[in-house]
Amino acid sequence: TYVVLDNCIACKYTDCVEVCPVDCFYEGENMLVIHPDECIDCGVCEPECPADAIRPDTEPDMEKWVEFNRKYSELW
Ligand code: SF4
């Protein structure tokens, strides 16, 4: 899965949401999040993010961000 990191906070762009083929972005409290079970790992959102906030969970220390993204995706 891909995850959104806190560089997203206060970013006004939603280019990532528009390109996602499975619509798995959700509004968190003050940033967007990706539902980790819905993301198909296509990677098209990553280069669209002007805040450099989207990363694959294969990078080190991403577990807490996966859980953060899951928690806020499931709030509504
Ligand atoms: Fe959506 Fe693909 Fe980004 Fe996952 S990697 S959030 S499926 S655009």
CA of 45 from ligand 1 middle (Å) equals 6
Judge if the beta carbon of residue 44 lies within 6 A of ligand 1: yes
Judge if the beta carbon of residue 75 lies within 6 A of ligand 1: no
Identify the band that residue 1 occupies on the pLDDT scale cut at 50, 70 and 90: very high
Q: What proportions of the chain, in percent to the nearest 5, are helix, strand and coil? A: 30, 15, 55
**Structure tokens belonging to residue 53:** 């906030």
> Phi first, then psi: what are they for 42, rounded to 5°?
-75, -30
ipTM of the complex model = 0.94
What pTM does this model have? 0.95
Q: Of 14, 20, 37, 73, which is best to mutate to test ligand 1, by the most ligand atoms within 8 angstroms of its C-beta?
A: 20
